[in-house]
Structure 1
Amino acid sequence: MYELKTKQNDASVIEFIEGVENPKKREDAYRLLDIFSETTGFEAKMWGPSIIGFGSYHYKYKTGHEGDAPLVGFSPRKAKISLYFATGDPERAKLLESFGKHTSGKACVYINKVADIDESVLKQLIHQSVSFLLKTYPDSD
């Protein structure tokens, strides 16, 4: 059976950020840590080896596949910073129009640096994602 690799764990968020080689990316990770913590009210937790997540929800698909995931999160990867928001929310695309320089995939929004984006729009994306997921999965926290 499929085993979900990205699980919440007790690894230190600060130690993970301190391990980011690029000093500018490390600085951006601390800025994102502040923004996500303040905006969600949730404590940052490590999910898998490289995702910093906030809050969690339990999902179950029609296929029977289920698991837990952070409500929102980010990861300061070598190439770009990955931001994790809810998928399937039509509001996301609207907000991304005024977000700043980014690219996006199905689940992730990628940025080069925090200076490229509008932090107030980031906060709106975080709020919108958390609200959408808590409405979609009401048994979450």
Structure 2
Amino acid sequence: MVYELKTKENENSVIEFIESVESPKKREDAYRLLDLFTAVTSYPAKMWGPSIIGFGSYHYKYASGHEGDAPLTGFSPRKAKISLYLSMEEGTYKRLAANFGKHTRGKACIYVNKVADIDVEVLKEMIKQSVNFSKKMGQS
């Protein structure tokens, strides 16, 4: 059986997706993040799967043979929290996280309640680091 990736880049409208976010505050944050990620990455926003707004893309291949494409960075305004898809070296994360603000970290993303809880300048640096790190991962 071939594993089918659920999170693929598609032609769905980023704006329509943001407009479908129930919470007006989350919607406002999503537009703020859209502007921020677009400005920092210079990539157009694209939908990845039904709920991830991604910027740029890279091809990865694991030692297991599993491979696919993923956004260099991105975010998703989910019901509970906003997921920020930011990949970087552990040392870089620790250095930046110290001044980032209120957040929690999962395996592949950083969760924040709202943009007001975080330092936007630190987020900009995290986005840059994520793009560079993901591009390197795509070259290996």
Shorter-chain TM-score above 0.5? yes
C-alpha distance in 1 between matches for 2:5 and 2:91:
27
| Residue of structure 2 equivalent to 1:78 | 79
8 A Cα contact 1:89 1:132, kept in partner: no
CA distance in 1, matches of 2:126, 2:66: 26
- Deviates most, 126-135 or 107-116: 126-135
Identity of aligned residues (%): 68
Q: Shift of residue 132 of structure 1?
A: 1.3
Q: TM-score, normalized by length of structure 2?
A: 0.95
| Cα deviation, residue 29, structure 1 | 0.2
Unaligned runs of 5+ in 2: none
SS of 1:106's partner is coil
Structure 1: any 5+ residue segments left out of the alignment? none
Give the distance between the partners of 2:42 and 2:93, measured in 1 at CA. Answer: 21
**Per-residue deviation, 1:130:** 0.6
SS at match of 1:83: strand
Structure 1 segments, 4+ long, off by >2 Å, are 87-90
Q: 1:86 offset after TM fit, Å?
A: 1.3
- TM-score normalized with structure 1 length: 0.94
**C-alpha distance in 1 between matches for 2:100 and 2:91:** 15
* Range moving further from structure 2, 129-138 or 28-37: 129-138
C-alpha RMSD over aligned residues: 1.3
Question: What's the counterpart of residue 51 of structure 1?
Answer: 52
The answer as to whether partners of 1:81 and 1:112 remain within 8 angstroms in 2 is yes
Q: What are the equivalent positions in structure 2 for 1:17-96 lying under 5 Å apart? A: 17-86=18-87, 88-96=89-97
Q: 2:102 — aligned with what?
A: 101
2:103–2:111 contact (8 Å) kept in structure 1: yes
Name 2:111's counterpart in structure 1: 110
Tell me, yes or no, if the aligned pair for 2:88 and 2:133 is still in contact at 8 Å: no
Taking the aligned partners of 1:3 and 1:90, their CA distance within structure 2 comes to: 33
Alpha-carbon distance between aligned partners in 2 of 1:136 and 1:45, rounded to the nearest angstrom: 20
